Amino acid sequence: MATGRTHRPANRSRGIPEATVARLPLYLRALTALSERSVPTVSSEELATAAGVNSAKLRKDFSYLGSYGTRGVGYDVEYLVYQISRELGLTQDWPVVIVGIGNLGAALANYGGFASRGFRVASLIDADPEMAGKVVAGIEVQHSDGLEQVIEDNDVSIGVIATPAASAQPVCDRLVAAGITSILNFAPTVLSVPDGVDVRKVDLSIELQILAFHEQRKAGELSDEDAEELPQGAGEVTASPVAPPAASVTKRGSGSGKSPAGASGGTSGRNGEPGSDGDVPAVMPA
């Protein structure tokens, strides 16, 4: 069972599935809350509800860590908090550098949830000379020049990128060259990094677009109640090919109240706009 090793290039770290790793912080949060209320034990059912997952899934997740529960009773809260913390590497302090102290970077620096989980802001870095010296969240912002030094001095291995998209890759390269091996990227760009470096991204825009997709689907669903079941075939594909007429806001089914209010007054012409939002061509590496 524990196997999994052999000569596999598997990304399966130590037998713990990635999906499980992603949920451990969730469990930890719920357990911490219980701990603060001095609750001694929890059943998988209770904890699962608190964490918003299926209880079987939770039990299986925990089974990867070991048998820490007691049948007929449940899990010891304190003990489990410790085990998960250890597994996640939170029993040690992780110095972090944040690069790009703008709106977002400053908010992140001020974020309390940072320190409360063992992450310590080792330094705030910004390329703007104007920013250097300013104090944000009690820390003095440093100019990019000192980036490498800070990383080395504090043995930092986690970096957060909150610069404009155009600067993300260059900054990333510098971070990696300086020894960073884990990056949390907030810029809307695909970062390319060498093997051995982990990158996770947070993209607000993408999240909203996904919501919009489902929202649109909900709106359309209401219009054709009956046809719900059957395959609506390729109905829509029939649309005329050729280039899209930019401006036109195609309203869909509407039906129920929730129709996008784009109509309100002007269209503020979306589209045809400066892609200024910061998308940068991903160049064309190898």
Distance CA(150)–CA(239), nearest Å, equals 56
Minimum CB separation from its own copies for residue 250, in Å?
Answer: 5
Closest CA to 280 of 181, 200, 171: 171
Window 196 to 215, contacts with ligand NAD (CB under 6 A): 204
By CB under 7 A, tell whether 71 contacts DNA.
yes
SS3 at position 46: helix
Beta pairing, strands 182-185 & 69-70 = unpaired
Closest CA to 178 of 194, 193, 156, 205: 156
Minimum CB separation from its own copies for residue 2, in Å?
Answer: 6
> CB-wise, 17 or 255, nearer to DNA?
17
By CB under 6 A, tell whether 39 contacts ligand NAD.
no
Minimum CB separation from ligand NAD for residue 26, in Å?
Answer: 14
Residue 151 backbone zone (phi > 0: left; psi -120 to 50: alpha; other: beta) = alpha
Is 154 annotated in a binding site? The answer is no
Tell me whether residue 24 is exposed, middle or buried, using C-beta atoms within 10 angstroms of its C-beta: 0 to 12, 13 to 18, 19 or more: buried
Q: Which residues have a Cβ under 8 Å from the Cβ of 157 and sit 6 or more positions away?
A: 94, 95, 179, 180, 181, 182
By CB under 7 A, tell whether 159 contacts DNA.
no
Q: Considering only the stretches 29-37, 156-164, 216-224, 262-270, report the one whose residues sit in contact with ligand NAD under the rule CB under 6 A.
A: 156-164
Window 183 to 242, contacts with DNA (CB under 7 A): 238
Is 105 annotated in a binding site? The answer is yes
Beta pairing, strands 94-99 & 119-126 = parallel
Are the beta carbons of 126 and 144 closer than 8 angstroms? yes
| Residue 75 DSSP symbol | E
> CB-wise, 76 or 143, nearer to its own copies?
76
19: Cα separation from own chain's centroid: 14
By CB under 7 A, tell whether 267 contacts DNA.
no
Minimum CB separation from ligand NAD for residue 283, in Å?
Answer: 16
Q: Considering only the stretches 5-13, 56-64, 125-133, 140-148, report the one whose residues sit in contact with its own copies under the rule CB under 8 A.
A: 5-13
Give the per-residue contact string, 210-239, with its own copies (x = CB under 8 A; - = no). xxxxxxxxx----------x-xx-x--xx-
Residues that bind DNA (CB under 7 A): 1-3, 9-12, 17-20, 42-45, 53-57, 59-60, 62-63, 67-75, 238
Residues that bind ligand NAD (CB under 6 A): 99-105, 107-108, 110-111, 113, 125-128, 131, 144, 162-165, 167, 170-171, 186-188, 204, 278
